[in-house]
Amino acid sequence: MTKHFGKIASLLVGTSLVATAVSADAELQKVMKARGLSEIDVVRAAKTYNPTGVKDEFVVFSSAGQAGQVIVYGVPSMRILKYIGVFTPEPWQGYGFDEESKKVLRQGNIRGREINWGDTHHPALSEKDGKYDGKWLAINDKANPRIAIIDLADFETKQIVANPVFKSAHGGAFFTQNSDFIIEACQYAAPFDNNYHPIEDYKESYRGGVTMWKFDHSKGRIQEKDSFTIEMPPYMQDLSDSGKGVSDGWGFTNSVNTEMYTGGIEVGMPPNEAGMSRNDTDFLHVYNWKKLAELAKDKNNVKIINDHKVIPMDIAVKNNALFLIPEPKSPHGVDISPDGEYITVCGKLDTHASVFKWSKIKKLIDSKEFAGKDPYGVPILDMKKSLHGQAELGLGPLHNQYSPIDGEIYTSLYVDSQIVKWNYKTLKVIDKENVHYNVGHLCGMEGKSADPQGKYIISLNKLAIDRFQNVGPLHPQNHQLIDISGKTMDLLVDMPLPLGEPHQAVAIRAEKLHGHVRYPMGTNSRTDSIHEGKTLAGQERIERNGNKVKVYATVVRSHINPERITVNKGDEVTMYLTNLERAQDEAHGFTVDHFNVHASLEPGKTASIKFTADIEGVFPYYCTEFCSALHLEMMGYLMVKDPNKKYESSQKMKMQTMTPAQFKAEYDKTVATNTATDAVIQSVVKFLKDNKFDKHKVVADLVTDAFDQYNQIPAQKKLADAAVKAGDMEKAILHENMIWQLMVKTADVGIRAKDALVRLIATKQSSAAAAGEAAFGEGGCGGCHVIGKVSSGPDLTGVLSRHENAEKWVKDFIMNPEKMYGDPYVKGMIDYFNLKMPNQHMNEKETKNIIEYLKWVDQNANLF
């Protein structure tokens, strides 16, 4: 092994374990040999490894292509965090299986028809001054032209809007720099109305365009009424980008079929792919959306098609708001530089990237210097006069991302399977990195914002081929993480993504995201308002109105209230479910067997499920999240009876029962257990109060959660006492049992609060003491010694004052316990615990650290 290997090892093991670097070194060499890893592999692993509890620096939102969803993962660990249901039902979140989410999905109906499939391509993060603000995520559906809005406070889809005039839409979503509008460009030109038009009328009746969706940033909703579409020639508008900085107010959209070719293999015509790439150039569309938004306010400037405002081409042209610039044929990405001055267009059939300059374009527009007009009368700007220059990159350039370094740009090369780093100002290629295989989009860290963060590029590859275990002919996608912090790029790791074909992904600094922990009690998460079915403890009820049955239910560890519901066959049943929990991560799920319903109930949420009880029978309903030790008991029965049938109660079986004396004994035992458990709780409460827990928000939140449970006890106690009075000991026992359940839940959170508080108020550990605590834990000392308690070995609090010359005594005893078994004190201990202190083979350094740890324990003895 080479010299600097030790350096890597100590880098990897972290400071608290530097002492054990020698043994870590050996261990590392062993692992590397066994797994066939090189040193550089180990460095790459270290760059992406997150120890447990450590979070990522960036969060990526990736489209999921044909899965119609969004995938969320962290960088650099490439760990998947969530799938968000968007255009497709997602069962875990109840998306499409509860009533609230169905309403969102059904906003995406087109011409009154349900569509439950989508093809997500381009996610976009909301912006302020061109920088990501972490509030909203928009994403398009290419197949059924729609845009969805996801709230980044809870990562739920809140809105879907269908495009009233397009028949497909690819070039979206793109936020303008202050999130006033979301750009969505058409893809396959088609008639704007919903009628039949023969393909021979393509040039006359088929149209392309760009829809500008008005966005209310504070509410996070698209305002359909204030949105409009700019009519464009049927050139098949493709990817787009919004201007920013100097080009703010303008939009840029390229196109792939200025030939206006319409194919016809079946009638002997050459296929689309030949006819649509005949011309040397297609058109980059440049439009002044800010001006057009003003024009759209006047009804004389718009045509209303399908209840939607469309600005005809001639109006846009007359108002100097729409222009064309030739660009190399069949381009793909168009990406505006962070300052808005450079516009890079990649031609997938061209080896070049073309860099246009906004100031040059603007000058031509202002001076009305046109090279001509297209057949629809749209002015064309001269390509050469608009260009800053072209760079030869390689085969199949597609998409671009920026870094914070001036002029630095990263471009994907589809055919060459490479990422190329170059400079769009000097037009020089700097570096290339091979990827596996056929990269589509690439994702920089905030790499398309006004403030790119650099550090990493993710290559979103179209093919995985041989990279992963064969799981059949349909392979996962491969996202490859590339380190771009050095002079040259370095590919760090592969991540298989088994959920559709992601196209674009966007990354944001994790610290910009502020997800909720819980909802205000009774929230309809899809509208963020209080739900009509909000139900608090004690308000649970079943209401009947004719054949409509409404159940107002609550869920809380570990019961559903009510637990029995009887309805008639044919009844329409709505169940409103409120999760009364406030504790972090205490979600419950809810389903009624056989009725195809599911709700995910996060703390504070109210959701509803609705079904017709059209079959007779007995149907268990239950909580679908393993939420507590009594999760399996969190259930109930829906009983559906046929009103036209007579049911005879079956013969009552004679069951043996307990004697009154036995009942009394069990009751007394239960009450005694509760009294003992309560004493533990009170001691924790005293500790928390003595140590001013309310000064620490994290701890105070946990204490609130604990009291949510504890405060339910008096009500149960009342019921238990009433049962005793009435002589129903069995019922009294059941209520006392419920009290115990509540106490256990209280203690569970209470002890977590205590541990958290101890960590916050204890004196700071020296690094030696911290290493000692780690060694104590890893050396198995905790198996016999519990700090603050006598367990199967003595309590070690105060051990350093129990012996003369104690540090040496403890050190000798840890390192060579056998030698001291004869010592009268040790002998006494051995007899008492019936156990001998084993030799755990701690080295001198570890032993010294443990002694430092024990000193820290003594300093904080009052806390244990």
Name which of ligand CUK, ligand CUA, none residue 121 binds, using a CB cut-off of 5 to 8 Å depending on partner kind: ligand CUK
In the complex with ligand CUK, the residue whose CB is nearer, 125 or 310, is 125
d(CA 327, CA 808) in angstroms, rounded, equals 81
3-state secondary structure of 797: coil
Match 């590859």 to its residue by tokens.
Answer: 461
Distance, CA of 225 to CA of 308 (rounded, Å): 8
Q: Considering beta carbons, is residue 403 or 412 the nearer one to ligand CUK?
A: 412
Q: Which of 141, 341 has the CB closer to ligand CUK?
A: 141
Please give the order of strands across the beta sheet that includes 588-592. 564-568, 635-641, 617-623, 588-592, 599-601
- Smallest distance, Å, CB 746 to ligand CUA? 17
Residue 49 or 626 having the CB closest to ligand CUA: 626
Query: CB of 714: closest distance to ligand CUA in angstroms?
Result: 23
Taking CB under 6 A as the rule, does residue 160 contact ligand CUA?
no
Q: Which of 410, 446, 633, 449 is nearest to 57 (CA)?
A: 446
Shortest Å, Cβ 170 to ligand CUK: 6
Tell me if 128 sits within 8 A of 179, measured CB to CB.
yes
Based on its alpha-carbon atoms, the radius of gyration of the chain, rounded to whole angstroms, reads 34
Interacting residues with ligand CUK (CB under 6 A): 121-122, 170, 239, 332, 398-399, 440-441, 503-504
- Cα separation, 715 vs 149, in Å, equals 44
Say which residue the tokens 């374990």 belong to. 17
Residue 441 touches which member of ligand CUK, ligand CUA, none, C-beta under 5-8 Å by kind: ligand CUK
Contact partner, 170, from ligand CUA, ligand CUK, none, Cβ < 5-8 Å per class? ligand CUK
CA 253-256-260 angle, to 5 degrees, is: 115
Q: Which is nearer to ligand CUK, 440 or 452 (CB)?
A: 440
Q: Smallest distance, Å, CB 553 to ligand CUA? A: 12
Bridge partners of residue 207, in order along the sequence: 190
Cβ neighbours, 10 Å, residue 821: 12
DSSP category for residue 697? H
Dihedrals φ, ψ of 498, to 5°?
Answer: -95, 55
Which does residue 185 touch among ligand CUA, ligand CUK, none (CB within 5 to 8 A, set by kind)? Answer: none
Q: Which residue is nearest to ligand CUK (CB)?
A: 440
- What minimum distance in Å lies between the beta carbon of 569 and ligand CUA? 29
Question: Which parts of 585-644 interact with ligand CUA (CB under 6 A)?
Answer: 588, 623, 625-627, 631, 634
In the complex, what is the shortest distance from the CB of residue 631 to ligand CUA, in angstroms, rounded to a whole number?
4
Measured CA to CA, the distance from residue 2 to residue 377 in angstroms comes to 70
- Closer residue to ligand CUA in complex, CB, 117/626: 626
Q: Which is nearer to ligand CUK, 205 or 412 (CB)?
A: 412
Q: Hey, what are 308's tokens?
A: 């939607």
| Least distance in angstroms from the C-beta of 558 to ligand CUA | 6
Q: Pairing state of beta strands 69-75 and 80-85? A: antiparallel
Interacting residues with ligand CUA between 421 and 480 (CB under 6 A): none
Residue 332 binding target from ligand CUK, ligand CUA, none, CB below 5 to 8 Å by type: ligand CUK
SS3 sequence of 704-731: HHHHHHHCCHHHHHHHHHHHHHCCCHHH
Quick one: what does residue 631 bind among ligand CUK, ligand CUA, none, with the CB cut-off 5 to 8 Å set by partner type? ligand CUA
Smallest distance, ligand CUA to C-beta of residue 159, A? 30
Instruction: Provide the minimum distance between the beta carbon of 588 and ligand CUA in the complex, in angstroms, as a whole number.
Output: 4
Which among ligand CUK, ligand CUA, none contacts residue 440 (Cβ within 5 to 8 A by kind)? ligand CUK
Query: In 3D, which of 568, 622, 564 has the Cα closest to residue 590?
Result: 622
Closer to ligand CUK by Cβ: residue 441 or 557: 441
Please identify, using beta-carbon distances, which residue of 445 and 706 lies nearer to ligand CUA: 706
What 8-state DSSP symbol labels residue 14?
A: -
b vs e for 770-781, b when ≥16 Cβ sit within 10 Å of the residue's Cβ?
bbbbbbbeebeb
d(CA 347, CA 256): 10
Considering only residues 524 through 563, tell me which ones interact with ligand CUA, judged by CB under 6 A: 558
Q: Judged by CB under 6 A, does residue 360 bind ligand CUA?
A: no
Residue 623 interacting partner from ligand CUA, ligand CUK, none (CB closer than 5 to 8 Å by kind): ligand CUA
Rank residues 48 and 558 by Cβ distance to ligand CUA and give the closer one. 558
Task: Name the residue among 183, 170, 188 with its Cα closest to residue 122.
Answer: 170
Binding site for ligand CUA (CB under 6 A): 558, 588, 623, 625-627, 631, 634
